């Protein structure tokens, strides 16, 4: 989360709006119509709000034939599991699921689907398309197994790198302006004049899940 006041050289953060938009586009391009679920984070947090609103707005604007069912799970795995179970009982025709945090929601989602006989591999009849957020090794394994279809990999390996870069730059008296950077991101100005470097987050699918440059493939 970004500070709301004070002297700040730079906030280094992923573009969470892009998370929601990429998840929306992946589901919307693959599902022509029907019900999709977004398992949300804590809406009291900027990350949860950004992802939720971006996904919702994108579906409304670009994929009007999709109906979004929402689970406010507050980054809690037990809450996600119980509410997804209830939702699946009421809606037998869900076609897609968006997990806003794979590290929290992946395991309970897969277990809930499995317990109901709904965990079908990609390509099989009845497969529910799932796109996640995080880029952890467990998500990559699930993509390889056909359990989920994609994840938006947050740049966990770049936060410290560019955080240190901006600390050193600030100590040297360097200042920055909004606009594109030399490392593929965008600096934006937040309310209060605080600058934020929004690092890009790639979409990972079966096509690039084995890319050795992805940080999720460099950890155990």
What confidence score (pLDDT) does residue 54 get?
A: 98
Ranges under pLDDT 70 in the chain: 1-6, 220
Please, are residues 132 and 139 in contact by the beta-carbon 8 Å criterion? yes
Model pLDDT for residues 182-193, shown as the tens digit of each residue: 998 999 998 888
Task: State how far the Cα of 150 lies from the Cα of 130, in Å rounded to an integer.
Answer: 7
- Average pLDDT score over the chain: 94
CB contact set of 51 (below 8 Å; sequence gap of 6+): 16, 17, 19, 20, 23, 40, 41, 100, 133
What confidence score (pLDDT) does residue 102 get?
A: 97
Within a 13 Å sphere around the CA of 49, how many CA atoms are in the beta-carbon half?
5
Task: State how far the Cα of 19 lies from the Cα of 27, in Å rounded to an integer.
Answer: 13
- The full set of domains in the chain, from first to last, is 16-154+202-210 (3.40.50.2300), 156-199 (no CATH)
Task: State how far the Cα of 30 lies from the Cα of 41, in Å rounded to an integer.
Answer: 24
Task: State how far the Cα of 78 lies from the Cα of 61, in Å rounded to an integer.
Answer: 32
Q: How many Å from the N-terminal Cα to the C-terminal Cα in the chain?
A: 27
Please name every residue paired with 150 in a beta bridge, in sequence order, or none if there are none: 131
Q: How distant, in Å, are the alpha carbons of 11, 29, 81, 108, 131 from that of 77? A: 28, 28, 6, 6, 17
């Amino acid at each position: 989360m970004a500070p709301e006041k004070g002297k700040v050289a730079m906030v280094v953060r992923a573009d969470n709006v892009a998370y929601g938009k990429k998840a929306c586009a992946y589901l919307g391009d693959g599902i022509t119509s029907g019900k999709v679920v977004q398992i949300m984070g804590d809406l009291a947090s900027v990350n949860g709000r950004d992802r939720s609103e971006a996904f919702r707005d994108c579906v409304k604007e670009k994929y009007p034939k999709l109906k979004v069912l929402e689970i406010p799970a507050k980054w809690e795995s037990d809450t996600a599991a119980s509410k997804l179970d209830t939702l699946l009982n009421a809606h037998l025709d869900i076609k897609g699921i968006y997990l806003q945090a794979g590290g929290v929601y992946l395991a309970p989602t897969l277990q809930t689907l499995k317990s109901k006989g709904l965990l079908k591999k990609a390509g099989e009849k009845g497969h529910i398309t799932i796109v996640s957020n995080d880029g952890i090794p467990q998500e990559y394994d699930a993509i390889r197994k056909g359990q989920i279809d994609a994840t938006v990999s947050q740049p966990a390996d770049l936060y410290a790198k560019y955080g240190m870069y901006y600390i050193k730059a600030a100590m040297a008296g360097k200042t920055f302006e909004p606009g594109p950077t030399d490392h593929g991101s965008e600096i934006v100005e937040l309310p209060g004049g605080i600058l934020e470097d929004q690092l890009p987050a790639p979409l990972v699918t079966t096509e690039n899940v084995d890319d050795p440059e992805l940080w999720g493939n460099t950890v155990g």
